[in-house]
């Protein structure tokens, strides 16, 4: 359908204030800054008017119900993730395909998780609308206490709760934090937690930064907090884990290591500090730490055997290697265990005294087994678009491999890391659907070859250009893999095609590929996606009238940049929870952490780089923009909704064409994590129906 035939009234008017700043010698207008106050009456009124306008427009989407019905089926596929072994039990996140949120189940033997599990936690009882979700859970080493972290309305902020396993009595340890897992010390009383100076209550939308956290040990019986590491330089985050030592009988000794990664914001590089912990009068005590690695490269902790610490690093190679560090040595130095290759070594887990590694060969996983001395023990025969490995107990040989691909939503394998024996223990079926996958390459403006997957339903024998969604991310060292998505399956079944882009800025080909898409090189990310659009057109697979682009968060920035730089290539665009104001992103919530990828707007050089591509500041008055659906959540405390609100208002005013500019603003939803099933279905259906309307897709179902 053309934009002209999709007749809707004028967009709601948005008040323009006379807000002008001189930044680094540049005059910058910011007339919609008042929308940054998410809880003000004016913003609430604006949101309600935009919601009403969008919902009225959505009633004209001819395929909305068809997509909702199919997506309801696809989002109802069950799936399980075996996560950890703690307190003598295995824990599994169980999604039955029906409930709003997955539940946590437990069993002493992992096989019993599928036959006779015990349900420990059911978040579906925590809120009427299903928006309170579970972030993490663990049982104390002595099996007496279950601790979990929950989040309301999709917030990054979590609150901890404790439950006596024997009596069921619950209590509040008064721990409110974010980005902290549930990590017990051997005393079964103390937890390792990030302690932020400014804690949000959750009663209002979150926009301010929380400050720099310190790392503390919290005694849950007394509330006492002992500092493990003070707050670091501005922007420092800590990621801590606790390693438990065992004796020759496999029993825990009460001693071990605390391993802490320190990172500035979301920087690629990280340092490492280790601490010994032991018991004194029955309570865990942490000794003074020892610096093992500076933040001059990426250092990812893998595990500890005795005093040998295994670390995945790109210290001397952009495709990573695994090194061992003797923590008992006077001057610990890394020795190579698994060498780098032409393919990135993306993941290594420790299971007993065997290492299981994943290489990404042209962004497809290849799994292999290695001894802790570096001997190659053999490959693991699994074909998948992506894999997620969990070794619930680093002292045991059990590894669970959760494999997925464009035609396969979830297959779970058990690998005995010692023997190499592989067993399929669960799979989900998608009926007769099978994606036809073609690996293609586009040439970016600087000559770089940009790989992407082009996919369509194998049963689709249509010829000529197809309605096609181009999806990408291109940032923060995150790898886009060819995994299963209910969204993409529904679109392909309907008769469309999908292109998944491996743009620079991601981690697909190692750290050099990442660095070629950040800071001064950020424009490369947008060039790479534009190159894919042009390649699809030149190959006759799509036309500007059948092309849409989509992405979320940093991918939302990518969409905003592409649609403002090359709007003539697109029929539709959907930026989701996007970073769209590159001059003020650092002033809100976690935004300052992203300066590792974007730069610092307070710096004159970085400011000029950011201004050149910032979507909000590159909207041209009177230009013809494609049909655009800006998606956000009113409680997103990671990328605050002001980014989307200001961009929406700016585009609506500037639009010189007939295509609609709409915004879909979810209630009680954050950046995406913990979203209830029905909400995911509705958002996905609206997104696909909107794109279908303007790319000419009539579903085959």
Which pLDDT score, from 0 to 100, does residue 182 have? 97
pLDDT at 234: 87
Task: Compute CA distances 141 → 134, 287, 404, whole Å.
Answer: 21, 20, 32
The pLDDT score that the predictor gives to residue 202 is 53
pLDDT tens string 531-567: 999 999 999 999 999 999 999 999 999 999 999 999 9
Q: What angle separates helix 486-494 from helix 677-695, to the nearest 10 degrees?
A: 30
* 87 has pLDDT over 60: yes
Of 9, 51, 22, give the one whose Cα is nearest residue 669. Answer: 51
Coil/strand/helix, residue 174 = coil
Supply the DSSP symbol for 268: S
**Strand extents, DSSP E, 247-344:** 252-264, 271-280, 283-286, 290-293, 299-305, 308-313, 321-326, 334-338
Residue of 580, 574, 578 whose CA lies nearest to 659 = 574
Do domains 20-73+432-695 and 298-429 share one topology? The answer is: no
591 closest CA partner among 111, 100, 257, 156:
156
- pLDDT exceeds 90 at position 7: no
Token duo for residue 629: 């659906």
Residues 6+ apart with CB under 8 A from 138: 84, 86, 87, 91, 146, 147, 148, 181, 182, 183, 184
Domain at 298-429: CATH architecture = 7 Propeller (2.130)
Whether the predicted pLDDT of 203 surpasses 60: no
Asked if the model's pLDDT at residue 293 lies above 60, the reply is: yes
CA 480 to each of CA 266, 313, 469, 500, 537: distance values in angstroms, whole numbers, following the listed order: 18, 20, 15, 8, 22
DSSP conformation class of 553: T
On average, the pLDDT of the chain sits at 94
pTM exceeds cut of 0.85: yes
Query: pLDDT grade, residue 207 (50/70/90)?
Result: low
Angle, alpha carbons 470-475-477 (nearest 5°): 120
Confidence at residue 130, expressed as pLDDT on a 0 to 100 scale: 83
Superfamily of domain 20-73+432-695: Alpha/Beta hydrolase fold, catalytic domain (3.40.50.1820)
Tell whether the model's pLDDT for residue 670 goes beyond 80: no
Query: In the chain, where are the structural domains located?
Result: 20-73+432-695, 298-429
Kindly state the helix (H) or strand (E) to which residue 653 belongs, with its residue range: helix 642-654
Q: What is the pLDDT of residues 620-655, one digit of tens each?
A: 999 999 999 999 998 787 899 999 999 999 999 999
Report pLDDT for 669.
67
Rounded Cα–Cα distance for residues 238 and 193 (Å): 9
User: What's the confidence (pLDDT) of residue 1?
Assistant: 54
**What's the CA gap between 130 and 206, in Å, rounded?**
20
Query: Could you give the CA distance from residue 530 to residue 544 in angstroms, rounded to a whole number?
Result: 12
**Residue whose tokens read 């886009």:** 480
């Amino acid at each position: 359908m053309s934009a002209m035939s999709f007749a809707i009234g004028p967009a709601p008017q948005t008040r323009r204030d006379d807000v002008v700043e001189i930044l680094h010698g540049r005059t910058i207008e910011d007339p919609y800054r008042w929308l940054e106050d998410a809880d003000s009456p004016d913003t609430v009124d604006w949101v309600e008017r935009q919601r009403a306008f969008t919902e009225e427009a959505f009633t004209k989407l001819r395929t909305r119900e068809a997509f909702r019905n199919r997506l309801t089926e696809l989002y109802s596929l069950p799936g399980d993730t075996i996560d950890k072994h703690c307190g003598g039990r295995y824990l599994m996140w169980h999604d039955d395909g029906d409930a709003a949120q997955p539940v946590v189940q437990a069993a002493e033997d992992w096989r019993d998780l599928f036959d006779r599990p015990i349900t420990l936690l059911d978040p579906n009882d925590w809120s009427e609308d299903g928006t309170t979700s579970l972030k993490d859970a663990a049982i104390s080493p002595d099996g007496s206490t279950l601790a979990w972290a929950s989040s309301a309305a999709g917030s990054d902020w979590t609150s901890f709760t404790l439950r006596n396993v024997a009596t069921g009595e619950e209590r509040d340890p008064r721990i409110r934090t974010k980005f902290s897992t549930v990590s017990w010390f051997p005393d079964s009383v103390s937890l390792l937690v990030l302690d932020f100076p400014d804690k949000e209550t959750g009663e209002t939308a979150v926009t301010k930064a929380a400050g720099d956290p310190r790392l503390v040990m919290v005694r849950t019986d007394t509330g006492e907090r002992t500092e493990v590491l003070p707050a670091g330089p501005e922007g420092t985050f800590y990621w801590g884990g606790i390693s438990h030592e065992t004796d020759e009988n496999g029993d825990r000794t009460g001693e071990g290591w605390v391993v802490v990664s320190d990172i500035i914001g979301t920087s690629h590089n990280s340092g490492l500090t280790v601490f010994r912990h032991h018991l004194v009068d029955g309570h865990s005590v942490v000794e003074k730490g020892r610096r093992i690695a500076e933040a001059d490269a990426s250092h990812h902790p893998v595990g500890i055997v005795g005093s040998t610490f295994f670390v995945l690093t790109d210290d001397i190679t952009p495709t990573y290697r695994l090194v061992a560090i003797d923590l008992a040595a006077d001057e610990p130095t890394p020795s190579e265990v698994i060498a780098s290759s032409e393919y990135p070594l993306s993941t290594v887990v420790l299971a007993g005294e065997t290492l299981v590694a994943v290489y990404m060969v042209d962004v497809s996983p290849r799994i292999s087994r290695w001894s802790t001395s570096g001997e190659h023990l053999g490959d693991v025969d699994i074909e998948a678009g992506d894999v997620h490995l969990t070794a619930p107990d680093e002292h045991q040989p059990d590894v669970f491999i959760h494999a997925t691909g464009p035609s396969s939503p979830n297959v779970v394998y058990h690998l005995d890391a010692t023997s190499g024996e592989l067993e399929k223990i669960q799979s989900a079926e998608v009926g007769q659907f099978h994606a036809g996958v073609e690996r293609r390459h586009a040439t970016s403006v600087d000559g770089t070859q940009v790989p992407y997957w082009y996919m369509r339903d194998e049963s689709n024998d249509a010829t000529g250009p197809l309605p096609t969604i181009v999806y990408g991310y291109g940032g923060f060292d995150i790898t886009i893999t060819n995994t299963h998505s209910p969204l993409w399956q529904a679109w392909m079944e309907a008769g469309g095609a999908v292109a998944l882009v491996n743009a620079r800025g991601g981690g697909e080909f190692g750290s050099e590929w990442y660095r070629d898409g950040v800071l001064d090189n950020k424009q490369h990310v947008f060039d790479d996606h534009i190159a894919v659009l042009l390649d699809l057109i030149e190959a006759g697979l799509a036309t500007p009238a059948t092309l849409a682009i989509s992405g979320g968060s940093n991918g939302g920035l990518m969409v905003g940049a592409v649609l403002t730089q090359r709007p003539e290539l697109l029929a539709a665009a959907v930026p989701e929870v996007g970073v769209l104001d590159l001059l003020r992103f650092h002033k809100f919530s976690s935004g300052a952490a992203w300066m590792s990828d974007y730069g610092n707007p307070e710096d004159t050089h970085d400011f000029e780089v950011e201004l050149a591509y910032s979507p909000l500041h590159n909207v041209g008055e009177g230009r013809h923009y494609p049909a655009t659906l800006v998606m956000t959540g009113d409680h997103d405390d990671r990328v605050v909704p002001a980014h989307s609100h200001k961009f929406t208002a700016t585009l609506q005013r500037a639009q010189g064409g007939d295509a609609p500019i709409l915004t879909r603003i979810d209630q009680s939803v954050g950046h995406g994590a913990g979203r209830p099933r029905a909400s995911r279905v509705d958002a996905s259906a609206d997104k696909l129906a909107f794109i279908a309307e303007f790319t000419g897709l009539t579903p085959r179902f």
